[in-house]
A and B are shown apart, each in its own frame.
Chain A
Amino acid sequence: EVQLVESGGGLVQPGGSLRLSCAASGFTFNTYWMTWVRQAPGKGLEWVANIKQDGGEKYYVDSVKGRFTISRDNAKNSLYLQMNSLRVEDTAVYYCARGLFGSFFYWGQGTLVTVSS
């Protein structure tokens, strides 16, 4: 059974940093693109970033470029999102998802990031 379990969310002040993790199991992690998608409270979905199987290609939504870094550790079957210079507008539930081209067949349960003073 495919499982994606996010962790690392919490309350952080504006300008602060947070590192999200996504533990994957039930599939061959190093053969899939992985993605982070977020959803602000009461709002719609927003693609954040994705990363190729070997980590050699990474793409980001414009609003997080230069602040967020997506990475993966295939030996640990884990996906990460390092978030720096956090802003109030980054407050959201962050989901990791498996897939590419928007065909995300599997999602985690999400982890809430709250940026507030």
Chain B
Amino acid sequence: QSALTQPPSASGSPGQSVTISCTGTSSDVGGYKYVSWYRQHPGKAPKLMIYEVSKRPSGVPDRFSGSKSGNTASLTVSGLQAEDEADYYCSAYAGSNMIFGGGTKLTVL
């Protein structure tokens, strides 16, 4: 299966909001409630930021929110902070396997 489609880059100034999209198909993003988002800083392991479309793990600030409409999921980061500069990946359950997006590099200007 093909990777989910994410924009390669996104940017915003401190305090602003940014939304990153993740487009799949009815067999993955649109077919299940299992869409997750990860943040990855250089040289580090990914960190789960959103799971099951819109749920936040304990310790993740409410500046991070997720949603889904049809075959497209979105991650919104509000009140941008310097530490938010990182690569962001979406993932979706697709039956017996998993698919990740190609990643979006978020730059905090």
- Chain A interfacial positions (CB closer than 8 Å to B): 35, 37, 44-47, 50, 59-61, 95, 101-105, 107-110
Contacts and interface: CB of A to CB of B under 8 A. Distances in A.
Contact of A102 (B40, B57, B92, B102): B92
B48 A105 contact: yes
Interface of B: 3, 32, 34-36, 38, 40, 45-48, 51-52, 57, 89, 91-93, 96-103
B103 A104 contact: no
Contact of B102 (A44, A60, A101): A44
Nearest to B48: A105
Nearest to A60: B97
B45 A107 contact: yes
Contact of A95 (B32, B45, B93): B45
Contacts of B52: 101, 103
Contacts of B45: 95, 107-110
A51 B45 CA distance: 20
Contacts of B38: 45, 104
A60 B98 CA distance: 9
Contacts of A44: 3, 89, 100-103
A110 B34 CA distance: 24
Q: Which 8 A-B pairs have the closest CB atoms?
A: A47-B98, A101-B34, A103-B51, A107-B45, A102-B91, A44-B103, A45-B100, A101-B93
B34 A102 contact: yes
A61 B52 CA distance: 22
Given A101-B52, A103-B52, 15 more contacts: A37-B46, A44-B89, A44-B100, A46-B100, A47-B98, A47-B99, A47-B100, A50-B98, A59-B97, A101-B32, A101-B98, A102-B92, A103-B51, A107-B47, A109-B45
